[in-house]
Copies of this chain bind each other. A is one copy, B any other.
């Protein structure tokens, strides 16, 4: 390892050619992670897989972790896009149907390239400097809040910021778990829905 760790990339991709190189690097990195796991994930392997030279990797990524972080951001963007669509599509639908849509969105986002995404989630813990809220995390909260706001009157309890956070934590954990266990999407949906609705409506105090 080098003595001093570079913080910024040497170059920003300006021309079309270099933008393509960046894409190639990212995809190669993803494939290496899928094929060889974290253990076999090294920058030389990425370069080889991408059919380019290591030097090129370091033109656009200051260090290996930056490359991993770029993959994480890419995954988060894809997830967010799906959730955004789900929230849009749920307009006019019932609360249960709406929740089901965002649950499906999350399941789908994780399911494609499941192996890769699982590794990326693991790395996220290591790489994110202690609870730094990403903008992605912020938007996810906003999206869920917007969806719930549409059903305010059906929900007995107040939906504050903490509740939104909890719902996200719960669904994320359950989605991860479902993927690990290779649950069918139907089964996974049902169980996550149960948890979310339960959290929203709380125990029956009327028994």
Q: Is the CB of B173 within 8 A of A169?
A: yes
Mask of A159-190 contacts with B, CB within 8 angstroms, 1/0: 00010011001101110010011000000000
Interface size for A (C-beta < 8 A) is: 32
Which of B38, B156, B169, B177 is the one whose CB lies under 8 Å from A126?
B38
A174 in contact with B169 (CB, 8 Å): yes
Binds B, one of A44-52, A136-144, A196-204: A196-204
Number of copies: 2
Residue contact A170 to B174, C-beta cutoff 8 Å: yes
The interface residues of chain B lying within 8 Å CB-to-CB of A112 are: none
Measuring CB to CB, which residues of chain A are less than 8 angstroms from any residue of chain B?
38, 122, 125-126, 130-131, 154, 156, 162, 165-166, 169-170, 172-174, 177, 180-181, 191, 194-195, 197-204, 206-207
- Give 7 A-B pairs besides A122-B122, A156-B207 with Cβ atoms closer than 8 angstroms: A38-B126, A154-B207, A166-B191, A170-B170, A194-B199, A195-B199, A204-B204
29 CB contacts below 8 A, A to B, read: A38-B126, A122-B122, A122-B126, A130-B180, A156-B204, A156-B207, A165-B177, A166-B174, A166-B191, A166-B194, A166-B195, A169-B177, A170-B170, A170-B173, A170-B174, A170-B195, A172-B173, A173-B174, A194-B199, A195-B198, A195-B199, A197-B198, A198-B200, A198-B202, A199-B199, A200-B203, A201-B204, A204-B204, A206-B206
